[in-house]
Amino acid sequence: METAEIRRRFLSHFENAGHTVVPSAPLLFDDPNLLFVNAGMVPFKPYFLGQETPPFDRATSVQKCVRTLDIEEVGKTTRHGTFFQMNGNFSFGDYFKEGAITLAWELITKSVDDGGLGFDPEKIWVTVLHTDTEARELWKKVAGLPDERIQNRGLLDNYWHMGVEGPGGPCSEIYVDRGPEYGPDGGPEADEDRFLEIWNLVFMQEEIANVTAKDQFDVIQPLPKQNIDTGMGLERVAYLLQGKENLYEIDEVFPVIERAAELTGRTYGADHTDDVRFRVVADHVRSSLMLIGDGVTPGNESRGYVLRRLLRRAVRSMRLLGYEDPALPQLLPVSMERMKASYPELETDFARISQIAYAEEEAFRQTLGKGTQIFDVAAGETKQSGGSVLSGSQAFQLHDTYGFPIDLTLEMAQEQGLSVDQEGFRSLMAEQRARAKADAKSKKGLHADTTVYRETIDAFGPTDWVAYTNLITESKVLALLSGGQSVPVITEGQVGEVVLDRTGFYAESGGQNADAGVLRWDGGHAEVLDVQRPIRGLVVHQVRVLQGELTAGSDLSAEVDHEWRIGARQAHSGTHVVHAALREVLGPTALQSGSYNRPGYLRLDFGWGGALDPEQFHHVEQVSNRALREDLQVSQHWMTLPEAREFGALALFGETYGEEVRVIEIGGPWSRELCGGTHVERSSQIGTVVLTSDSSVGAGNRRIEALTGIEGFQYLARERDLVLQLSDVLKAKADDLPARVQDLVSRLKSTEKELEKFRTAQLQAGAGDVAKSAEDIDGVAFVGHRAEGVGGGDVRQLALDIRGRLADRPAVVVVIGTAGDKPSAVVALSPAAIERGLSAQQLIATVGERIGGRGGGKADVAQGGGTDLGGIDAAFAAVRDALRG
């Protein structure tokens, strides 16, 4: 049974049982504590936590999930995969234990012909919490399971909670006996390889607090409504029903392994090390496909870094399998063909997805070239010093700076006859992880406790938000908040949060900055600093009271800054216009992946493989301004999300949308996007669009910045003034400025070359006189010369010129320049001096000690720098002493 068919049967079973089928949320779900959705219940957390009222009593979904904590274990076990799908059914105060057990048992044991999964009831085992006698009795009643196939387990295994204060409850896990060839008998307690868990039923029934560990917490009270949350691993069920050994061999994954085997000439199943690499390739290619499909782009931080690591591990594994050509163009289409049955949008969007992935592989291939050069230098230095172990710090630098995985460094070191200080590498990695965890913890700490907001919305209901129609509202203060607590008053000079019954202020979202403005009441006023939606349905204004006192329950006038809103509308509509222009000029794959706008300014990130050439850049600007000149109608439509997709509306990747969405059109289908921002009524009201930059924000992703409205005109005015000033200074017409400036630059370069020749001639002329001043020290001609105002390459050239004039005998030349008030030194030795056992490397160290610095080089020439000009004479003296020694 194919994976897509298992998925279909699961959803159909619960839909027929009265559940609302909820589409999978994007992997980039709006949860500040998660990089990606990592469990099927994540989109339903607000309902379980009581933050929002669910729109249904029963729901079912197949949720896309990504977990990367055990990424190093991928391919080594049957269980670890980075992308997986979680089948779930959920009850919000509707059915409870008996209903959940009955529905689960029916689906897994019902025959395939009758729409079930067809598992043998005699091979089903379950576990329950050791104190949950109710669940045990229900399994016996509903399924007829004997006592010996219902095992008791403790809190660590069979109790679920979120790790924080909130809902929790016992759970019951369903296992399938795979047979004696997989391990000993005795149920899940004896062996969880033979007895494989496929489904976990969570009975959410109580509120807990004081959580210190998985099995250490206090039960406060029963929940007012008992809930059900279940999770069935789709891939696990698939490999059991398909008769496979692990999740890498199911129909949605194995075709990538088959293609990789064709490309590499290796055989899957012949060698364990190769098998692990094949599995890493298949898993990571699929995960990358799904992540890019949901709007992630490769980068050096957060989600982008995870994607980059997955892609590079896949490419590196193909290299270790012996395939050094671009691999992703061969593998990604195979994964897409298998996944499109469940996620048809992957095929529709594959041009964009593949463009991003292939650009990242190309960037990594270039990185491999640079990193290999660095490795070769490090390996050479290790051998030259007589060592056989590459240091942990060098391995870490290759990993951290050049993206070299440690096993690639190990492989290359082995080829050179070296080993690697893995303990030192792991120590540095551990330090980096500790820093990352501390940083993540500090960032997570910025996510305020939402308790006070939940209490506010429970008490007063959602905010009447009228930002699309009203800039001024007569409003009542429902609550004042400070430090996560409700307060009765905010006094003059204080900053606090204000919840109004009605507001026209736009809360920051969808890349649009929050509105500015004021709150006015009898005897006082406050400036609005920020506007946010900490939980759905509630608008919160952060304010600073400038005069008087603001008290809870008072009436006031909430006034959005009119000029601010005009600029914000221009910038947001301008973002849509630039996005449409990009797609018109570059093609449909130039899709927006992120945006930010504030009055007069916009930036837009979009998928594209390289910099825009000047013609493309200007064409995008021209198309944008043509749309303004055509005075296109800007209209809005409300519809369901499926209707919007059918309508052809583009959705911003990573955004979360409700059941009803708002579609903004500019010029009909020319620009048609899902958007909750504020907009102009006609395109001409944007005023102007002035593109100011095109830059890279990671492989396969670009950023356009632009100015709109009065800010755009001001920018052009400054450019005009600059041109006028240059024209006046250079006595040239504006059109002639480029040629005039180019002429001046050419003449300047020519003059600099002449000066360089003159300076070189002076140095060479002086070199002869300096060489004549050489003093004899035990048969070695020594020159110690202080070159006033000379630095950099000139010091080296002078030292080499002097040495050349003394090449017929043992000679040591030390030249120390003083340019920039910092000494720069070069030590040059003749071949005869080297034959006498002298070394420029050793002598530069002697010089460096005296001038407050250090240096390095080879036996014949070494150079360095320092900080102490006063030590130059001491440096010369020290070299003399060394030569006498």
Here the tokens at position 450 are 């939402």
Q: Tell me, what CATH number does 797's domain have?
A: 3.10.310.40
- The region of weakest confidence among 532-536, 574-578, 579-583, 680-684 is 532-536
Amino acid 395: pLDDT: 86
Could you tell me which residues come within 8 angstroms of residue 262 by beta carbon, excluding any fewer than 6 positions away? none
Q: Which of 246, 281, 302 is the last residue of a domain?
A: 246
Position with higher pLDDT, 429 vs 508: 508
Domain assignment present for 734: no
For the residues 604-632, what does the mean pLDDT come to? Answer: 93
Q: Are residues 433 and 394 in the same domain?
A: yes
Report the candidate in 25, 540, 611 with the shortest Cα–Cα distance to residue 290. Answer: 25
Q: Are residues 422 and 517 in the same domain?
A: no
Q: Are residues 556 and 569 in the same domain?
A: no
Q: Are residues 58 and 204 in the same domain?
A: yes
Crossing angle between the packed helical segments 302-320 and 406-415, to the nearest 10 degrees: 30
Q: Are residues 484 and 438 in the same domain?
A: no
Instruction: Check whether 679 is labelled as a binding-site residue.
Output: yes
Inform me whether the pLDDT recorded for 32 exceeds 70: no
Q: Are residues 115 and 225 in the same domain?
A: yes
Cα angle at 312 between 310 and 313, to 5 degrees?
A: 65
Q: Are residues 155 and 207 in the same domain?
A: yes
**Cα(880)–Cα(885) distance, rounded to whole angstroms?**
9
Crossing angle between the packed helical segments 793-804 and 737-772, to the nearest 10 degrees: 40
Residue 513 half-sphere exposure toward CB, CA atoms < 13 A: 22
Position with higher pLDDT, 439 vs 299: 299
Q: Name the average pLDDT for the chain.
A: 90
Q: In 3-state terms, what secondary structure has residue 7?
A: helix
Amino acid 405: pLDDT: 67
First to last CA, the chain: 86
Could you tell me which residues come within 8 angstroms of residue 474 by beta carbon, excluding any fewer than 6 positions away? 502, 555, 556, 557
Q: Are residues 261 and 187 in the same domain?
A: no
Q: Which domain holds residue 669?
A: 565-718
**Cα(578)–Cα(321) distance, rounded to whole angstroms?**
44
The label of the residue with tokens 């061999």 reads 249
pLDDT in tens, 365-386: 877 777 777 888 888 888 888 8
Q: Are residues 82 and 178 in the same domain?
A: yes
Domain assignment present for 725: no
Domain assignment present for 358: yes
Q: Are residues 241 and 152 in the same domain?
A: yes
**Cα(129)–Cα(142) distance, rounded to whole angstroms?**
18
Here the tokens at position 365 are 């291939």
Cα angle at 657 between 656 and 659, to 5 degrees?
A: 145
Q: Is this model's pTM higher than 0.85 or not? A: no
Domain assignment present for 746: no
For the residues 707-733, what does the mean pLDDT come to? Answer: 93
**How many domains does the chain fold into?**
6
pLDDT in tens, 426-475: 888 888 766 655 544 443 333 346 788 988 998 899 999 999 999 999 99
**Cα(552)–Cα(428) distance, rounded to whole angstroms?**
53
For the residues 497-525, what does the mean pLDDT come to? Answer: 95
pLDDT in tens, 83-127: 999 999 999 999 999 999 999 999 999 999 999 999 999 999 999
Which helix (H) or strand (E) segment holds residue 529: the answer is strand 524-532
Inform me whether the pLDDT recorded for 80 exceeds 50: yes
Amino acid 448: pLDDT: 46
Domain assignment present for 730: no
Domain assignment present for 729: no
Domain assignment present for 531: yes
Task: State the pairing for strand pair 20-21/58-66.
Answer: parallel
Q: Is the dihedral of CA 392, 393, 394, 399 positive or negative?
A: positive
**Cα(92)–Cα(204) distance, rounded to whole angstroms?**
10
**Cα(337)–Cα(332) distance, rounded to whole angstroms?**
9
For the residues 612-619, what does the mean pLDDT come to? Answer: 95
Q: Are residues 414 and 521 in the same domain?
A: no
Q: Which of 560, 585, 618 is the last residue of a domain?
A: 560
Position with higher pLDDT, 502 vs 73: 502
Q: Tell me, what CATH number does 126's domain have?
A: 3.30.930.10
pLDDT in tens, 655-699: 556 668 899 999 999 999 999 999 999 999 999 999 999 998 866
pLDDT in tens, 262-291: 999 999 999 999 999 999 999 999 999 999
Report the candidate in 560, 561, 559, 524 with the shortest Cα–Cα distance to residue 545. Answer: 524
- The region of weakest confidence among 440-454, 707-721, 756-770 is 440-454
**Residues 812, 797 contacting (CB under 8 angstroms):** no
Here the tokens at position 541 are 């204004």
Q: What percent of the chain has pLDDT over 70?
A: 95
Cα angle at 287 between 71 and 254, to 5 degrees?
A: 95
- The region of weakest confidence among 254-268, 646-660, 748-762 is 646-660
**Cα(856)–Cα(198) distance, rounded to whole angstroms?**
62
**Cα(507)–Cα(642) distance, rounded to whole angstroms?**
26
Q: Are residues 807 and 848 in the same domain?
A: yes
Q: Which of 694, 718, 742 is the last residue of a domain?
A: 718
- What confidence category does residue 646 fall into, taking pLDDT thresholds of 50, 70 and 90? confident
Backbone angles phi, psi at 637, to 5 degrees: -135, 140
Domain assignment present for 862: yes
Amino acid 163: pLDDT: 81
Instruction: Check whether 579 is labelled as a binding-site residue.
Output: no
Amino acid 379: pLDDT: 87
